[in-house]
Every structure is written in structure tokens, then in C-alpha cells.
């Protein structure tokens, strides 16, 4: 099992472009499905629009990464051994 | 209702912990899973009831309160204990097993305690035993000593909050019973107790001990610690503090705070530690909202979380064991070198992210849906936002930079991972998957029945896939920004250190200066005054006291001698003396008229 898995991971690494394309296809399919599949009892009004949670996930992800890694991380980052010296 | 019999799960763990130091050889390791197996048998067969009541110093203690709430926590504790002891079966350091036995036994003791006194005793047992699990890593990691000390200080502080609260509560109510507190009638001692529990649940402000200590613990110890301390606290909050608005808001703050810090971190076990804060936040929020649905969600998520978080610590512990590092900047390209670890990590990472098929999907969504159904839209949105952050940091970032970000690493020398560690990971991954596929296997244990929530609907699945897949797309777009850096992100523990150093400064500078001034004043004024006072006392003693005392003595001696001379033994002398005395008395009386 271990060796078969190992070979699979090596194959996946060599064929990562295939996975990348597959990933983009899945994203499109998900939003397309949302045109037909809607919540019976929306938790927020915007849920009725197809792709709302896709936009939420993408927007929240981008904003969060930018905010945390570009701004907050610079404010709280110290040397790794800071606490060893305190 | 009083049940007929109950094998308290703590008993076997404590018995093994006491016996282990006296057993020679190496076969004792095969004993370590036995208490967990007995615990599983016990929690699956016991009927609800009150067992094990006893009287101690005039107080009625309850050691065996078995109901739906205690059973679900004990159930997952027993399963995770078995996984943890399988994972650590290769561990030759007996002390680690002893500490783990007392730690797990303490957790079972807390869960089944019906009164504050026995709860406190088991609570402190957990605190001491878990500190040992950090300290016992001192040969591998020098930081563990200081981290363990800080951990113990914080838990002592939390224990004191709990102790103060329960003593004041006893004084006010005259009972040790551990019962729910109505938030509208809460007293200051209830708040003390809540903060005592809250410290162990890692509420923000009192949480920094967790990401400080867990990354420094032993590989196997961290697996135990990820399961029991915070979840025991979640149990106590669910038991006593359901419906507290403070907890509802604090829970959502925890979910976001944890993912923010995890996103910045470079240390893999610290990422997981921050995610404990975040995931416990979902449970605390569910408890705080306090509806049947969110309380079920909190319990379900605690159950699922213990399984997948244990698995996360097992897999990352496996990486640390094999490579000797837990820094993402020093890892990469390990997928084909540690394939089972990688696969099990992916299962755990998807579980914590709430990905359909895995158990986070059937637990986390109950609390979020419960928040929306209780019209707590902001809280619900906050938890959805945290779900995005969870997937970004622990679902993608950690495995990407540990297993895939570089070309396959074929040159690194890896320490072989023992079979038992692999077995525990595979069992954990299987449970996370099975529970996700068959939610009723978890839902039947929930305290509020019937459970009116169905996770496996087309919409729930589609919504989860959309949210998480597009969060993954965000990672793809920002992957260069997400690259980890060697840095330490200061947290509230910086504040603790500042307070500690402030106290040290206060004692060593201004207070020491005041002390030196006082010493000088004492030397110049006080001591001289004292010496002058002593001299004056000596003069008074000699010329006053001595004069009076010596004078009295001399006078008494003179009178004595005079009296002795009058004792001649002749009758006529005595008669003459009596006549003279009578004449003197008569003269005195005549004179006083």
C-alpha cells in the first residue's frame, strides 16, 4: 500500500498540470450547478444568487491572505528566538 | 435514577499509572491500551444514572454522574485514548505513559464528576500530568522546560480562579453541586468559575499557553493533549454555562483569531495549536448561543474535532519524528517519502475544513446552521469566514508546504516511522471518514434528541464544495504570499511576559531602591535611635529599676535583721514590746481624733 501510494504521489507531481485543469473545471461546474440547486431556506438573502458562496470563499480568502500575510504579519513578526531571550 | 453498576473509566488508567513504576522489563507497553479498551466497554454499556457517591469530610461527592452529556464526551475520550496509546506503543520512556495515564484518568474523572470538589481534584490532576508531557521532552527540545513551566503557571492561575469561584459559591449557596447557571442570575463567583474553565478552553486573552506549550511537548504527548484539556473545558462549559452571551461572541472571536495566527505560522504544530483555539471557538459559540441545535452542534463538533485533531497531531508528529523538524520552511517534497502520513494528513485536513465525506462536515455545519436559524447572522457569517481560513491554513497551506511545494525530496535521511504510529493514523483516518459518511453513528449520542439536522442534502454539499473550492482558488492565486517565513508571531504571551518582566523590574528596581533607602534610614536613624534608646534604658535600669529593686532588697534585709534582733526568747521583752506597741497605737488614735 505504501509503495503504491508513493508511486501515485510521484505520478501526481509529474502530472500536476492535469490536476490544475481538473480543478478549474470543477470550479466552473460547481457554479453551474448552483444555477439549478438553491437553498430551500436561505440563511442570508444573497444565497439565492448563483455563486454567492463561491464569491464569498474567493473574496474572503484573498482578503484574508492579503490582510494577514501582508499587514498583520509585519506587525507581530519577531525573530524566531525572541522568546528565548525574554 | 441510580444505575446498578459502573466501571469508572478513570479507575483503570489511574491503576495502571500507579502500577507502571513497579513493573520491570519491556512487556509493560502492551498493558497501556488495556485501560482504554475497558473504558470503551464501560461507556458503551453503562446506563444513565448516578454512581459512585461518597461522603468525604462531611461533604457528599458524586464521582459517577452518567447522562447524555457526560456519555458523549467519555465515548470519544475512550476512543481517542485507545488511538493515543496505540500511537505511543513504541515509546520506551515509561514516565510518558504514566503521565498520559493520569492525564486521561483525570479527564474521565472531570467528565463524570457531579460536584465541584471532585471536579477540581481531577482538574488539577490533569494540569500536573499534562505539564509532565511537556517537560518530558526536555532531551529533544530545550524549550520544553520553560514552556512547561509557563503552561503550569497559567493552569495554576486558572485552577485558582475555579477554586475561588467554587468556594465563594459554596459560601453563598451551601452546595458543591455542579449544576447549570442561569446567565440572567449569574453572580461574580459564577464568572470566576466560568473564566477558570475558559482558560482551559483557551478563550482569547487566556489562550496563549496553548500555542506556546503544545509545539514543545513530546510527539506522543501532544496527541493526548490535543484531545483532552480543551475538550474537558468545553464539557464543563456545556454543563454549566449554556446560553451565556459572552461565550457566543467569544466563540466566534476564537474561530477567527485562531485561523488568523495559523495563517501566519511556520511551525506546523503551532499551526495546529492555533486551530485548536479556532475549532474550540465553534464549540464555545454553540454553547453560548444555547439552543438545542447549537448545543448538539458543540457536542458533535467536540467529538469530531477530537478525532481529526488527534489525527493531525499524529501525522505532523510523524513528520517531526521522521525529519526532526516541524518548520514548514525546512520541509517540502515529502509526499512520496511519507505516503501514509501524507494520505492520513489529507483526510484530517479535509475533516477539519468541513469537506463533505469527512466528519467535520457533519459536525461543524450544525453549529453554523443553528446560529443562522437562531437569527444570529453575524455569528454565522463569522464562523463561515473562519471555515475559509481553516481550509486555507491547515487544509492547504500546511500540507502544501510540507508535502508538495518542492520537488520530491529523495535525499533527506528519514527516521523510519514505527508500525504502531501508522496503525493509529490509519484507524483515526478511517473513523473520520466513516463518521462523515454515516452521521447517525454520531448523532445518536447527542444530548438533545431527536436531531433535526440533515447534513447530506444536495444544497449543503454544494455549498460546502463551493465555499472551500473557491477558498482553494484564493490560495492558488495568492500562493506566493502564503509562503511561510521563519518568524515568531507575538501573541498574548508577549503580554504575559511583559507583566512578568514588569513585576521583576518592579521588584528589582523601584522596590529594591526603596528597600535600600529604608536600610539606610534604619542604619542612620533607626539603629542610632535604637542604640540611644538602649543606653537610656540601661541608665534607667541601673539608676531607676536597680535602685528601687536593690533599695527594697536592702530595706527588707534591714527589717529582717531588726526583726531577728527582737526575737530574744525572753517573755518580759515581748510583754514590754506589746505594751510599747499598744501605747503607740493609743497615741496614734488620740492624735487622729
The alpha carbon of B49 is separated from its chain's Cα centroid by a whole number of angstroms, namely 28
CA atoms in the 13 A half-sphere facing the CB of B131: 17
Question: What is the number of domains present in chain B?
Answer: 3
**Better pLDDT: B226 or B572:** B226
- Which domain, by its residues, includes A72? 2-85
% helix, strand, coil for chain B, step of 5: 75, 5, 20
C-alpha cell at B317: 508528529
C-beta neighbour count of B520 within 10 angstroms: 11
**Contact of B295 with B367, CB cutoff 8 Å:** no
Tell me the C-alpha distance between B243 and B182, whole Å. 8
**B336 and B454 share one domain:** yes
Q: If you measure CA to CA, which chain A residue comes closest to B142?
A: A84
User: CB distance A76–B264 less than 8 Å?
Assistant: yes
**B454 and B526 share one domain:** no
B485 SS3 class: coil
Q: Is the pLDDT of residue B414 over 60?
A: yes
**B214 and B315 share one domain:** no
User: CB distance A13–B404 less than 8 Å?
Assistant: yes
Tell me the C-alpha distance between B481 and B263, whole Å. 11
Tell me the C-alpha distance between B297 and B380, whole Å. 13
Tell me the C-alpha distance between B325 and B340, whole Å. 18
**B346 and B277 share one domain:** yes
Query: Which of B219, B241, B263 is the endpoint of a domain?
Result: B241
The alpha carbon of B572 is separated from its chain's Cα centroid by a whole number of angstroms, namely 100
Q: How confident is the model at residue B593, as a pLDDT?
A: 65
Best to test chain B binding among A1, A6, A8, A9 (most B CBs inside 10 Å): A9
Q: If you measure CA to CA, which chain A residue comes closest to B341?
A: A2
Q: Is residue B310 part of a domain?
A: yes
Nearest to B340 among A5, A26, A65 (CB): A5
Using left for φ > 0, alpha for ψ between -120 and 50, and beta otherwise, residue B491 falls in beta
Provide, as residue numbers in chain B, all residues whose Cβ is less than 8 Å from the Cβ of A11: none
C-alpha cell at B384: 463561515
C-beta neighbour count of B391 within 10 angstroms: 28
Tell me the C-alpha distance between B527 and B539, whole Å. 18
Using alpha carbons, select from B143, B74, B81, B140 the residue that is nearest to residue B109. B74
**Contact of B328 with B483, CB cutoff 8 Å:** no
Averaged pLDDT of chain B:
93
Tell me the C-alpha distance between B20 and B23, whole Å. 5
B49 DSSP β-pair partners:
B66
Tell me the C-alpha distance between B464 and B356, whole Å. 7
Residues B256-301 pLDDT 10s: 999 999 999 999 999 999 999 999 999 999 999 999 999 999 999 9
Q: Is the pLDDT of residue B123 over 70?
A: yes
**B313 and B444 share one domain:** yes
C-alpha cell at B492: 498574548
**B223 and B249 share one domain:** no
**Contact of B269 with B350, CB cutoff 8 Å:** no
User: Chain B contact for A50, CB < 8 A?
Assistant: no
Nearest to A80 among B380, B404, B488 (CB): B488
Beta strand pairing call for A77-78 and B488-489: antiparallel
B174 SS3 class: coil
**Better pLDDT: A42 or B17:** B17
B299 SS3 class: helix
Question: What is the number of domains present in chain A?
Answer: 1
Q: Tell me if the bond preceding B450 is cis, omega within 30° of 0.
A: yes
Provide, as residue numbers in chain A, all residues whose Cβ is less than 8 Å from the Cβ of B474: 57-62, 64-65
Using alpha carbons, select from B145, B114, B108, B137 the residue that is nearest to residue B11. B108
Q: Is the pLDDT of residue B106 over 60?
A: yes
Query: Which of B207, B241, B275 is the endpoint of a domain?
Result: B241
Residues A16-33 pLDDT 10s: 999 999 999 999 999 999
Contact residues, A window 10-49, toward B, CB-based 8 Å cutoff: 10, 12-13, 23, 26-27, 30-31, 33-34, 37-40, 43-44
**B412 and B539 share one domain:** no
- Which domain, by its residues, includes B538? 510-592
Nearest to A64 among B388, B463, B493 (CB): B388
Q: Taken in order B416, B312, A73, B145, is the CA torsion positive or negative?
A: negative
**B285 and B216 share one domain:** no
Nearest to A54 among B408, B470, B482 (CB): B470
Range B564-568 average pLDDT: 75
Q: How confident is the model at residue B109, as a pLDDT?
A: 96
Using alpha carbons, select from B230, B394, B240 the residue that is nearest to residue B301. B230
* Chain A closest-CA separation from residue B478 CA (Å): 7
Provide, as residue numbers in chain A, all residues whose Cβ is less than 8 Å from the Cβ of B384: 56
Tell me the C-alpha distance between A44 and A36, whole Å. 18
**B6 and B29 share one domain:** yes
C-beta neighbour count of B512 within 10 angstroms: 12
This complex has an ipTM of: 0.94
Using left for φ > 0, alpha for ψ between -120 and 50, and beta otherwise, residue B503 falls in alpha
User: CB distance A58–B487 less than 8 Å?
Assistant: no
**B287 and B228 share one domain:** no
**Better pLDDT: B199 or A45:** B199
Q: How confident is the model at residue B1, as a pLDDT?
A: 43
Tell me the C-alpha distance between A45 and B372, whole Å. 12
Residues B531-557 pLDDT 10s: 888 888 888 888 778 877 777 778 888
Give percent above pLDDT 90 in chain B: 77
Q: Is residue B499 part of a domain?
A: no
Q: How confident is the model at residue B533, as a pLDDT?
A: 85
Rounded to the nearest 5°, which phi and psi values hold at B64? -135, 60
C-alpha cell at B316: 505532523
Provide, as residue numbers in chain A, all residues whose Cβ is less than 8 Å from the Cβ of B270: none
Range B466-493 average pLDDT: 93
Gyration radius of chain A over CA positions: 21
C-alpha cell at A35: 444555477
Q: Is the pLDDT of residue B572 over 90?
A: no
Q: Taken in order A25, A31, A33, A39, is the CA torsion positive or negative?
A: positive
Beta strand pairing call for B59-66 and B49-56: antiparallel
Contacts of B388 by beta carbon, 8 Å cutoff, 6+ apart: A56, A57, A60, A61, A64, B467, B468, B471, B474
Provide, as residue numbers in chain B, all residues whose Cβ is less than 8 Å from the Cβ of A83: 488, 493, 497
Residues B134-154 pLDDT 10s: 999 998 888 999 999 999 999
Q: Is residue B355 part of a domain?
A: yes
**B273 and B188 share one domain:** no
Q: How confident is the model at residue B3, as a pLDDT?
A: 53
Using left for φ > 0, alpha for ψ between -120 and 50, and beta otherwise, residue B512 falls in alpha
Provide, as residue numbers in chain A, all residues whose Cβ is less than 8 Å from the Cβ of B380: 43-44
User: CB distance A39–B459 less than 8 Å?
Assistant: yes
C-alpha cell at B459: 444544497
Q: How many CB pairs under 8 A join A and B?
A: 163
Tell me the C-alpha distance between A27 and B64, whole Å. 52
B216 SS3 class: helix
Q: Is residue B54 part of a domain?
A: yes
Residue reference for cell 521532552: B137
User: DSSP assignment, residue B52?
Assistant: E
Tell me the C-alpha distance between B228 and B73, whole Å. 10
Residue reference for cell 520491570: B24
Gyration radius of chain B over CA positions: 36
**Contact of B358 with B350, CB cutoff 8 Å:** yes
**B375 and B460 share one domain:** yes
Query: Which of B458, B489, B520 is the endpoint of a domain?
Result: B489
User: Chain B contact for A56, CB < 8 A?
Assistant: yes
Residue reference for cell 483532552: B228
* Chain A closest-CA separation from residue B51 CA (Å): 44
Amino acid at each position: 500500500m505504501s509503495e503504491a501510494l508513493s508511486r501515485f504521489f510521484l505520478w501526481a507531481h509529474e502530472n500536476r498540470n492535469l490536476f490544475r485543469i481538473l480543478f478549474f473545471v470543477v470550479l466552473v461546474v460547481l457554479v453551474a450547478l448552483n444555477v439549478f440547486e438553491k437553498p430551500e431556506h436561505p440563511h442570508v438573502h444573497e444565497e439565492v444568487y448563483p455563486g454567492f458562496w463561491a464569491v464569498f470563499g474567493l473574496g474572503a480568502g484573498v482578503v484574508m491572505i492579503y490582510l494577514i500575510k501582508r499587514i498583520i504579519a509585519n506587525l507581530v513578526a519577531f525573530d524566531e528566538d525572541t522568546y528565548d531571550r525574554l | 435514577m441510580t444505575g446498578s453498576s459502573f466501571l469508572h473509566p478513570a479507575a483503570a488508567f489511574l491503576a495502571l499509572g500507579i502500577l507502571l513504576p513497579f513493573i520491570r522489563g519491556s512487556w509493560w507497553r502492551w498493558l497501556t491500551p488495556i485501560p482504554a479498551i475497558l473504558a470503551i466497554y464501560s461507556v458503551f454499556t453503562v446506563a444513565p444514572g448516578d454512581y459512585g457517591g461518597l461522603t468525604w469530610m462531611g461533604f457528599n461527592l458524586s464521582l459517577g454522574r452518567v447522562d447524555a452529556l457526560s456519555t458523549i464526551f467519555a465515548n470519544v475520550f475512550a476512543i481517542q485514548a485507545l488511538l493515543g496509546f496505540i500511537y505511543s506503543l513504541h515509546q520506551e520512556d515509561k514516565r510518558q505513559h504514566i503521565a498520559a495515564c493520569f492525564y486521561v484518568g483525570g479527564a474521565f474523572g472531570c467528565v463524570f464528576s457531579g460536584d465541584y470538589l471532585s471536579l477540581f481534584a481531577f482538574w488539577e490532576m490533569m494540569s500536573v500530568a499534562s505539564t509532565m508531557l511537556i517537560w518530558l521532552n526536555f532531551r529533544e527540545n530545550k524549550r520544553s522546560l520553560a514552556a512547561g513551566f509557563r503552561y503550569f503557571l497559567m493552569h495554576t492561575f486558572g485552577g485558582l480562579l475555579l477554586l475561588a469561584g467554587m468556594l465563594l459559591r459554596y459560601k453563598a449557596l451551601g452546595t458543591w453541586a455542579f449544576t447549570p447557571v442561569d446567565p440572567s442570575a449569574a453572580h461574580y463567583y459564577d464568572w470566576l468559575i466560568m473564566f477558570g474553565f475558559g482558560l482551559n478552553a483557551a478563550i482569547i486573552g487566556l489562550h496563549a499557553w496553548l500555542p506556546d506549550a503544545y509545539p514543545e511537548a513530546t510527539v506522543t504527548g501532544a496527541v493526548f493533549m490535543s484531545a483532552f484539556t480543551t475538550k474537558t473545558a468545553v464539557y464543563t462549559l456545556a454543563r454549566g454555562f449554556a446560553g451565556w452571551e459572552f461565550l457566543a461572541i467569544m466563540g466566534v472571536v476564537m474561530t477567527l483569531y485562531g485561523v488568523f495566527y495559523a495563517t501566519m505560522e511556520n511551525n506546523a504544530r503551532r499551526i495546529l495549536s492555533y486551530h485548536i483555539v479556532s475549532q474550540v471557538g465553534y464549540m464555545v459559540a454553540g454553547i453560548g448561543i444555547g439552543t438545542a441545535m447549537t448545543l448538539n452542534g458543540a457536542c458533535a463538533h467536540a467529538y469530531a474535532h477530537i478525532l481529526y485533531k488527534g489525527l493531525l497531531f499524529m501525522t505532523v508528529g510523524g513528520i517531526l519524528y521522521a525529519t526532526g523538524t516541524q518548520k514548514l520552511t525546512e520541509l517540502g517534497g515529502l509526499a512520496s517519502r511519507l505516503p501514509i502520513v501524507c494520505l492520513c494528513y489529507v483526510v484530517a485536513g479535509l475533516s477539519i475544513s468541513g469537506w463533505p465525506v469527512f466528519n467535520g462536515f457533519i459536525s461543524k455545519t450544525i453549529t453554523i446552521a443553528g446560529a443562522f436559524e437562531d437569527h444570529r447572522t453575524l455569528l454565522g457569517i463569522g464562523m463561515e469566514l473562519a471555515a475559509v481560513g481553516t481550509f486555507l491554513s491547515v487544509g492547504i497551506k500546511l500540507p502544501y508546504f510540507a508535502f508538495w511545494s518542492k520537488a520530491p525530496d529523495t535525499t533527506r535521511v528519514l527516521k523510519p516511522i514505527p508500525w504502531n504510529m501508522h496503525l493509529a493514523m490509519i484507524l483515526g483516518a478511517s473513523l473520520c471518514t466513516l463518521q462523515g459518511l454515516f452521521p447517525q453513528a454520531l448523532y445518536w449520542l447527542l444530548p438533545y434528541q431527536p436531531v433535526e439536522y440533515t447534513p447530506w442534502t444536495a444544497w449543503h454539499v454544494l455549498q460546502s464544495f463551493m465555499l472551500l473550492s473557491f477558498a482553494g482558488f484564493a490560495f492558488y492565486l495568492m500562493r506566493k504570499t502564503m509562503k511561510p517565513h521563519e518568524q515568531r508571531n507575538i501573541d498574548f504571551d508577549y503580554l504575559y511576559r511583559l507583566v512578568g518582566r514588569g513585576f521583576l523590574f518592579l521588584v528589582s528596581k523601584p522596590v529594591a531602591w526603596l528597600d535600600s533607602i529604608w536600610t539606610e534610614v534604619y542604619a542612620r536613624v533607626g539603629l542610632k535611635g535604637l542604640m540611644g534608646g538602649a543606653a537610656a534604658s540601661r541608665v534607667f535600669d541601673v539608676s531607676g529599676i536597680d535602685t528601687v529593686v536593690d533599695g527594697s532588697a536592702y530595706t527588707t534585709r534591714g527589717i529582717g535583721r531588726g526583726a531577728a534582733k527582737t526575737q530574744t526568747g525572753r517573755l518580759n521583752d515581748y510583754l514590754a514590746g506589746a505594751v510599747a506597741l499598744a501605747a503607740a497605737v493609743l497615741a496614734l488614735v488620740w492624735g487622729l481624733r
